[in-house]
Amino acid sequence: MDKDAPKVVKIRNVKIDEEYIQWLNEIKTRYRNAQIKAAVKVNAEQLLFNWQLGRDLVMRKAEEKWGSGIVEQVSLDLQAAFPECRGFSASNLWRMKQWYLFYDQGSQKLAQLVGELQRFDIQTNKKMSQVVEDNSFPDFFALVPWGHHAEIIAKCKTIEEALFYVVHAASEGWSRKSLMNCIKADYYHTSGGAITNFSEKLPAPQSGLAQAITKDTYDFGFISLPKGYEEEELETELEKHLTRFLLELGSGFAYLGRQKQIIVSGKTRKLDMLFFHIPLNCYIVVELKAVPFQPEFAGKLNFYVNAVDDLIKTPSQNPTIGLLICSNKDETEVQYAFKGVQTPMGVASYDNIQIKKIQEQLPTIEELKSRIRLLEEELNKGKKKTTTVC
């Protein structure tokens, strides 16, 4: 018997009912929240220490005052004083200095950008001022681990780009690997890049969020199609790899179906793909085209968006959004096509589809044998019928 296994103790005179179960679940939830808050506070204190140490190295002009090897000396002294603690390597201390310098060199811009962001704990919607007590340290930095910060300042060129990744890493719970993948894919420049009319057709802040969830170009490198593929084949492949497609679209998308039928004036119309975006609280009609953008595509998408608004959307939901994803697009053509359109719509492109080789498109030997067997069976059935009739 495992000594570490929890003991099962039967307690008499206890009535377990639904109210007790509900209360117990509330206790568990409160404890989990307390664990999260404790972890955030520990992370905040550690990050604040790193920030202040980096600031000291800059403000005290340590290298000028004590020599070029002072960072290495501080590293050795701290490791000797706190042998059980990790994070006092010379390379890590240099990163702390670089971290502070990165934002301090654009301190006015940092203050302006931070002022535009809401200073709250993204997980609990509570202010962080009680956790962080240094006015030069942005509160929401505490929501992202040190390794993430080090990665961000090593790869980002501007404060705007760095803050973009800090906020997204915090709000979407990115792991360090996910963060590195997003930076490598240049998510800062590609997200929110679709050509849209959201700013004119949607109220703030919905327009800003709608713009943020779209991309200029979607990476369809996870699917492969034959040369000269049709739209139906494109849809089929995306549905086969739905999980990857949803990841490429971004967080918040819920898939509702492909070739979704709606009845307009007694005629059946089919939407390529229909999604619901939870944070935006609205339907998103996605039309896929295996060819470059054509002006008439906007009219068709406008029709579908209006139909979903009238036939599916409820009064509590926000206006439906249309998103056209085609093989290529011209900004001027899209802008002209959008003139006079009253529904919120965006146009993006896709790339990196793997084109199948001719050998991959041909049937295998097993498939050919199977087809021959089926053909022989059909021929034999035909012969039997002919014999019976005679």
Higher pLDDT, 17 or 49: 49
Q: Per-residue confidence at 145, pLDDT binned at 50, 70, 90?
A: very high
- Say which residue, 26 or 7, is predicted with more confidence: 26
Tens-digit pLDDT profile for residues 54-93: 999 999 999 999 999 999 999 999 999 999 988 999 999 9
Model pLDDT, residue 109: 63
- Would the pLDDT of 357 be above 90? no
Q: Quick check: 350 and 323 in contact, CB under 8 A?
A: no
Mean pLDDT across 145-165: 91
Residue the block writes with tokens 């390597």: 89
Tell me the CA distances in angstroms from 304 to 83, 199, 270, 278, 337, one per residue in order: 65, 20, 9, 20, 16
Q: Is residue 216 scored above 50 in pLDDT? A: yes
Residue 95 — pLDDT band, cuts 50, 70, 90?
very high
Q: Please say if the pLDDT value at position 36 is more than 80.
A: no
Q: Which helix (H) or strand (E) holds 347?
A: strand 345-351
pLDDT of residue 119: 38
Residue 118 pLDDT exceeds 70: no
Q: What's the pLDDT band for 134 if we cut at 50, 70, 90?
A: low
The tens digit of pLDDT for each residue in 241-263 reads 999 999 899 878 999 999 999 99
3-state secondary structure of 289: coil
Task: Show the DSSP H helices in the chain as ranges.
Answer: 18-59, 62-66, 70-81, 90-104, 107-116, 146-155, 159-172, 176-184, 187-190, 198-201, 206-212, 231-240, 242-249, 295-311, 331-338, 358-361, 365-389
> Is 343 exposed, middle or buried, given 0-12, 13-18 or 19+ CB atoms closer than 10 A?
buried
pLDDT number for residue 127: 40
What gap in Å lies between CA 260 and CA 311, rounded to an integer?
A: 12
Closest CA to 97 of 133, 73, 63: 63
On whether the CB atoms of residues 118 and 140 are closer than 8 A, the answer is no
pLDDT at residue number 124: 35
Could you identify the residue written with the tokens 């906007």? 298
pLDDT band per the 50, 70, 90 thresholds, residue 382: low
Given a cut of 90, whether residue 308 has pLDDT beyond it is: yes
Look up the CATH number of domain 216-356.
Answer: 3.40.1350.10
pLDDT at 106: 67
Place of tokens 């036939």: 311
The length of the chain, given as a count of residues: 390
C-alpha 109: how far from its chain's center? 26
**Contact of 276 with 284, CB cutoff 8 Å:** yes
- Indicate the average pLDDT of the chain: 84
Q: Could you tell me the sign of the dihedral formed by the alpha carbons of 144, 147, 150, 153, in that order?
A: negative
Residues 143 and 170: beta-carbon distance below 8 Å: yes
* 371 φψ region: left (φ > 0), alpha (ψ -120 to 50), beta (else): alpha
Name the pLDDT band for 114 (thresholds 50, 70, 90): low
What confidence tier does 178 reach under pLDDT thresholds 50, 70, 90?
confident
Q: Dihedral angle at the C-alpha atoms of 88, 93, 95, 100, nearest 10 degrees?
A: 120
The string of DSSP letters for 173-188 reads T--HHHHHHHHHTTHH
| Domain ranges, ordered by start, for the chain | 21-190, 216-356, 359-389
pLDDT at 136 over 80: no
Residue 137's pLDDT is 83
For residue 249 the two structure tokens come to: 């679209």
